[in-house]
Homo-oligomer: A and B are copies of this chain.
């Protein structure tokens, strides 16, 4: 398997585009994206568990009841959530795209991201739909990735190529973070495309299983958004034998999908609002998977640890504290902690108590951009990884004045 370019257009039959249509005042920022499969595609999605759900998600659940979709339309700058006419606007977005693409409006997946609770006007989208559709092209993943960004500072895009039997297959995805990121069942917006030939049931199974260890192990600020969604379109153009049950081919697909989702999870974490560092907490030696996951996620969610990492301060007591309140079954006296980066690794805690270490060396390690927090709990064979970022002045700045 290899990482390739092309994002959501890497797989056969997919085109994309992103434009500025006028939802945002700043004309330099794209605010409307479209991804299209020339062949009808199998589709699967997972959504936020927040009781307050964006109107687009409710429309999608109906549209995806048949496990099929051919296009994804998404605006940024407005979440279309907690608006009296939200459903109507989301339906209109589907209808506008469907008409121009000459497909059924129930074959459209719709998404919105931005401020909650401000009415979304349909006019800019209606005015922009012609140029959005006519500009669809196989190099359009970059533009689409830009059109879904909010406070993201980098676009998030990846694709992989792999074989199923003798067929070359591809999976590509784009994503947006970067605040209100603490997914539960799904994350902020992630759109994945593949040319793999796979049944709707198996596609949903692959996605629902994968996100438990990828997007659901990611947190920027502990806030589970109202609009989280991950969806996958699979159009079958790779012409592999249909994957309609477990087996070797499904395992290969899962592995390729996981490469894409881990890559995007890391990108979302590393570009969390205001972040200067990607934090990766790896818990090993747990008595079961749930314990490993709870422990890892608790560490990367700790505001105190996140602030310490911003300051490159090896304050491992905050790791122990977060493990202790995580709810995970842990034997405190068996916990070891190390910090690792491109500059090396340093042990800071053995058997639940501090050990002597060089503060200078620790500082050098923690000044890097990607930090691993390694926790060994000495109780068994299970491990888990969670991703997050540091807590910085810029997080406060961005969120102290987001709407205005």
Chain A interface (Cβ < 8 Å from any Cβ of B): 49-53, 79, 81-84, 115-119, 179-180, 182, 184, 221-226, 301-304, 307-308, 310-311, 313, 315-318, 320-325, 330, 332, 349, 352-354, 391-393, 395-404
14 cross-chain CB contacts under 8 A: A51-B324, A51-B330, A116-B320, A179-B304, A222-B222, A222-B303, A223-B325, A224-B324, A226-B320, A303-B395, A303-B399, A307-B398, A308-B400, A311-B400
Contact B403 A320 (CB under 8 A): no
Contact B396 A332 (CB under 8 A): no
Contact A51 B323 (CB under 8 A): yes
Q: Which residue of B lies closest to A306 (CB)?
A: B399
Contact A223 B396 (CB under 8 A): no
> What chain B residues lie within 8 Å of A79 (beta carbons)?
317
Q: How far is the CA of A399 from the CA of B179 in the complex (A)?
A: 20
Whole-angstrom distance from the CB of A386 to the nearest CB of chain B?
16
> What chain B residues lie within 8 Å of A354 (beta carbons)?
82-83, 117-119
Contact A52 B320 (CB under 8 A): yes
Contact B310 A180 (CB under 8 A): no
Which 7 A/B pairs are nearest by Cβ-Cβ distance? A116-B317, A311-B400, A52-B324, A307-B399, A117-B354, A224-B325, A50-B324
> What chain B residues lie within 8 Å of A404 (beta carbons)?
313
Q: Which residue of B lies closest to A325 (CB)?
A: B224
> What chain B residues lie within 8 Å of A316 (beta carbons)?
117
Q: Which residue of B lies closest to A305 (CB)?
A: B223
Contact B302 A223 (CB under 8 A): yes
Q: B52, B222, B307, B317: which contacts A352 (Cβ < 8 A)?
A: B52
Contact B396 A82 (CB under 8 A): no
Q: How far is the CA of A318 from the CA of B221 in the complex (A)?
A: 12
> What chain B residues lie within 8 Å of A179 (beta carbons)?
304
> What chain B residues lie within 8 Å of A224 (beta carbons)?
321, 324-325
Contact B396 A310 (CB under 8 A): yes
> What chain B residues lie within 8 Å of A321 (beta carbons)?
50, 52, 116, 180, 223-226
> What chain B residues lie within 8 Å of A222 (beta carbons)?
222, 301-303
> What chain B residues lie within 8 Å of A82 (beta carbons)?
317, 320, 349, 352-354
Q: How far is the CA of A23 from the CA of B136 in the complex (A)?
A: 67
Q: How far is the CA of A349 from the CA of B332 in the complex (A)?
A: 46
Contact B396 A324 (CB under 8 A): no
Further pairs besides A222-B303, A310-B396: 12, Cβ < 8 Å: A50-B321, A52-B332, A116-B320, A180-B304, A222-B302, A223-B318, A224-B321, A303-B395, A307-B400, A311-B399, A311-B401, A396-B396
